Amino acid sequence: MTRAKRLAMALLLVACTTKDRAPDPLAQPGPRYYVVGPQPTRTLGKNPLTLLPGFGVAIVDERDQAGMRIGRTSLGRELPLRDLRPAHPSTFAGVTLDVRTLDFGWVVSANAALRASPSPTAKVLGRKPRYTRLTLTARGGPEGYYQTVGGWIAAADFRVPTLAPPPAGVGPDEPWLEVDLASQTLVAYHGRQPRFATLVSTGIGAPGTAFATPVGEHRIRAKLLASTMDNLSHTEVIPYSYEEVPFTQYIGRVALHGAFWHDQFGHRRSHGCINVSLADAERLFAFTRPRLPDGANEITPASPAAATLIRIRGTPAALGDDREP
């Protein structure tokens, strides 16, 4: 089975459900994602490489050796499976849109309180788990709160996508994406019509720094079914390493891609890339141009005009402290 087919089988997901959930990717055949930890591990064989806790690998084969279970990664590295823990990719998925309004948002905190009025001391009417989608009754209101059908919710616990006009030169049916750093949301459009909305995780750095997600208008320069991302050849940097990062779309030094190593969408987590859930990564990969030919693992646009535009705007509301691409 080819690498493309293995990964496609592994990431065959339902992009949207009424509960904004998709099936667990670990239930699919193909490579299985693991994370190193809680202690560092070293690859077996000559010239061993140390992998730190939190590094991600994609196991494609397993075998027994002298009473120890060994896993072989997609890069050919062999590791003791006892030093790895299964990754549990997020089952969150964004929502398909068929109207021109965005009258909803997502809870991004555990057991977020819905209150009777916009005050931290107001009566709690109920609590909602993370990734619950709530309908807004109005966008306006006291600073720091949103009014939903179920009650008032603190803005810190809630992320709301917003409509935006297309960039200059985008055609009426042309696909394009907008990422809002302030709300940690992404909306996919055809011209002025929003088609899909979801949560993202962008860079932890302050604007203009190496770990910030760059604002502005960018064209996709390459699409890869999967890509390995690491900085292990560099020194004096915070190290990271992730194999088989799925559905990667580069826009310069950073990329829009699936993230299997965390489940904190709606919060900043990356070294500058735009993280989405695996279901959303597959959905957006199919939405953007150029299309990946059958059987191919990657494609480069013939020209900038043949590539989808991604506009990144806004200022992050708060800094994160995680260390991921």
Which pLDDT band holds residue 195 (cuts at 50, 70, 90)? very high
pLDDT at 325: 57
Model pLDDT, residue 237:
73
- Whether the CB-CB separation of 244 and 7 falls below 8 Å is answered with yes
CA distances from 112 to 28, 89, 118, 134, 189 (A): 31, 22, 14, 12, 30
Element spanning 224, H or E: strand 222-230
Looking at the predicted structure, is the pLDDT value of residue 18 above 50?
A: no
pLDDT digits (tens, 9 = 90+) for 31-41: 799 999 999 99
Tally of CB atoms within 10 A around 8? 18
Q: Verify that 39 and 123 share a domain, yes or no.
A: no
CA distance 127 to 36: 34
pLDDT tens-place string over residues 225-235: 999 998 877 76
pTM passes above 0.85: yes
Q: What is the mean pLDDT of the chain?
A: 89
The answer to whether residues 291 and 182 belong to one domain is yes
Instruction: Tell whether the model's pLDDT for residue 10 goes beyond 50.
Output: no
Strands across the sheet containing 112-115: 124-128, 112-115, 151-154, 145-148, 133-138, 104-107, 158-159
113 and 71 within one domain: no
The 3-state DSSP class for residue 278 equals helix
DSSP state, residue 213: P
* d(C-alpha 228, C-alpha 136), whole Å: 40
| Statement to judge: residues 223 and 311 lie in one domain | yes
pLDDT tier, 78 (very low <50, low <70, confident <90, very high otherwise): very high
166/306 same-domain check: yes
CATH of the domain at 153: 2.30.30.40
Mean of the pLDDT values across residues 196-223?
Answer: 95
Alpha carbon 12 to its chain's center: 16
Do 17 and 136 sit in the same domain of this protein?
Answer: no
| CATH code for the domain of 77 | 2.30.30
pLDDT band at residue 55, thresholds of 50, 70 and 90? very high
State the residue range of the domain holding 215. Answer: 10-27+89-102+161-325
